[in-house]
Structure formats: C-alpha cells, structure tokens
Amino acid sequence: MKIDKQPLLDKQQGLSLVELMVGLAVGLVISLGLLMLVSGTSNAFKVQDDFSRLQESGAAALHYLIDDFRMAGFYGLAMSSGSVSLDSATLATAGINAIANDCAAGSPSPPWSLNLLQPIDIQSGLTPANVHAALPCIEADDFAAGNASVIMLRGAVGTPLAAGALDANALYVQSSPSQSPNTLLFKGANFAALKAANLTRSFANGTDFPIFAYQSHVYYIRPCSRRTAATCSNMLNDDGGSSIPTLVRHELAGASLQLVPLAEGVERINLLYGIDTNNDGIVDQFIAAPTALELPSIVAVRIYVLVRTASTSSGYSDAGKNYDLGGGVNFTCTPGVDCNLRRHVFSQVASLRNCAQRRGGGNTC
C-alpha cells in the first residue's frame, strides 16, 4: 500500500515574514522594558548612593567642628586660659622652640599655634588673593572662593595620659588650679627633666596632675580633594576633572602643622556666634561677626554646613533653589555651571563648654 506523504510536507513550512516581524517586535518591546527597568534601577541606586555620601560628608563635617569647639580652651584643670605662661624662657625649658609650617606671618613668640590665651580665633573677609599673606600656611589655590572665613581652635584632647605613655615629639598640657601659672605646655621628651626640676604640676603628695595631648586646628574649605599638583591649581585634572570642594584642616603632628582633608563635598560653612554679654556662661544673643573684643565672650556656635554631591545627576537641576545658611547668608547655584548637583544644609549648635563654665565662674575663656 502506498502512503502519500505530501500532506505532512505541506504542514512543515517555516515562519512567514509577518510572523517573524511580529516576533521581533514583541522581543524588542520586552528588551526595551528590561533596559528601562535596569536603567531606572541603576539611576535610583546612584541617587541613593549620592545622598548617602552627602549625608556622610555632612555628618563628618559637623562631627569634626563640634568636637573641636567643645574642647576649645580645655587645658586640663586650668581655671582660666589667662593663667598660662608662655614666655620664651618657659617654652625653651619645655623643649618648644618653633612650630614648622606655623600659620602666622613672621616669627611670633610664642608660636601662633601655641596661643593658648586665644582658644578661638576667627579670621573673616579672606579671599584666594589675600589669604596667604594673612595666614602663610594656606596657599591661594587651596582656598575656595566664596568661603571668606578661617576657623582656628586650640585646646587639648579629653583623654588623660600617663607620663610613661607620652610621645617624645608631641605636645602636652598639664594644669593645676592651685599652682601659678596653672598650665604647663611641654614637649613629651622634656617631661622627665621638667619633673626633676619640680616644674611639672602635681598634687601635694607628689602625684602628677592629669596630662592631656595638646591640639591646634585650622579649618577652611579647599576647592579640590585629591590634588594632581602641590596645590589645587590644576582644576581640569584634580578629582578626575570634577574638583570636589573639601573641608580640610591643618593640625599639629608633633611640632609641625600638617594639612589633612576631612570631608568631601563641603561647599560652604557659616557660623553664628553665641555671645555671653553678662558673664554668666549663657548665650544672650547670636551674632554673625564678633569683634576681637567679643571673641572671649563666645560660649556657643551655631554651625551651618552646605554639602553637595561629588557627581552630577542627569536630568536634575538645582536652579532657583535658595539655601539658607543663617545670619542672612544664602546660596544659590550658577545656571549652566553647577546646578545639576544635589545639595543639603546641615546645622547644629555646639556649646563651648570650657569657656561657658569659666565665664559662669567669673573667669575668662
């Protein structure tokens, strides 16, 4: 019996052109949807990552500043910074001759970084053109335009140290409320000699008063974070071409000031100063620009920090937004220059505990 196979062959014909085009169209729609999903997820991740880094930088900037303001004027058990004796003979005996890279013009004695009589020092009205003449430790290219102030804080770390744990090259303070002068500033290597000469601060039974590491910090905003040259002079290549403004500080490392970057993205800092006008240790008013005579009356500081993201956000514009930095100071971006960056203002009040306590007791900061 002969079997006719032709009907089976007739059914095994391939896809028609119409079916192929419909299949390709459906596949394209599905692929486009997946692409949009991946793109949206990636963009959402970038935005969240930018905000996380922004929050981290803002928190870090406040942390460094607030901790330093709280410790400003702390020299151990000293009742007043005015009790500190820092004449040339005392410094020579303590083993301190000079501070390398000090921030003062000329060669003041005592060195500028060791001016314990002024735990808080604010210099305003500075620009890249004049900052180096006022503070030689800051180069013109390393000072961000639009941030006119430099904050200088002097004090000690709050953790006491044993005499045997001192670094030979570091600086320390030791204070007694009953001896005059209250506070001794010395180099670690010279403590044993000072003690042998009965120049250290000690209780009646000979036990040493607590010893604290001394610190002197200078805060300002630099126009870049990772430099390709000695200063932020190569803006096309610094930070991979993005030039991220960064909070930095000069800090003592032994008897030398060294520059340390602290928090990226810090674009502006503004301070309002809480003044104690009646010597009771309590803020009576906040002012924007204290005079030299008002600096010893500061017992609190309201800190405003404007932080921006390190990278731009596609499709985002900051144009028209006004950021309030307190005291009538505001910031708005420049259209076509820096408006596709996300920003946020962080603010907190820091109490100058040592100054407030001393003023409440009738002493000076």
Largest CA distance in the chain: 130
DSSP state letter for 265: T
Neighbours of 278 (CB within 10 A): 9
Neighbours of 211 (CB within 10 A): 24
Amino acid (one-letter) located at 73: G
Q: What pLDDT, on the 0 to 100 scale, is given for residue 178?
A: 79
Q: In this structure, are residues 267 and 243 in contact, taking their beta carbons and an 8 Å threshold?
A: no
For residues 104 and 65, which has the higher predicted lDDT (pLDDT)?
65
Say which residue the tokens 């985002």 belong to.
316
Instruction: Give the pLDDT confidence of 250-287 residue by residue, as tens digits.
Output: 998 888 899 999 999 999 999 999 999 988 889 999 99
Q: Determine the Cα–Cα distance for residues 233 and 242; give it in Å rounded to an integer.
A: 13
Q: Determine the Cα–Cα distance for residues 105 and 136; give it in Å rounded to an integer.
A: 6
Question: Strand 246-252 and strand 257-264: pairing?
Answer: antiparallel
Instruction: Give the pLDDT confidence of 177-210 residue by residue, as tens digits.
Output: 877 778 888 888 888 888 888 888 888 888 889 9
Phi, then psi, of 11 in degrees rounded to 5: -85, -15
Q: What pLDDT, on the 0 to 100 scale, is given for residue 38?
A: 65
Which residues does 164 contact at the CB level (< 8 Å), separation at least 6? Answer: none
Q: Give the mean pLDDT of 48-58.
A: 86
List the structure tokens of 293: 């005579």
Q: Determine the Cα–Cα distance for residues 345 and 54; give it in Å rounded to an integer.
A: 10
Which residues does 214 contact at the CB level (< 8 Å), separation at least 6? Answer: 75, 155, 156, 170, 171, 172, 173, 185, 252
* Domain ranges, ordered by start, for the chain: 56-360
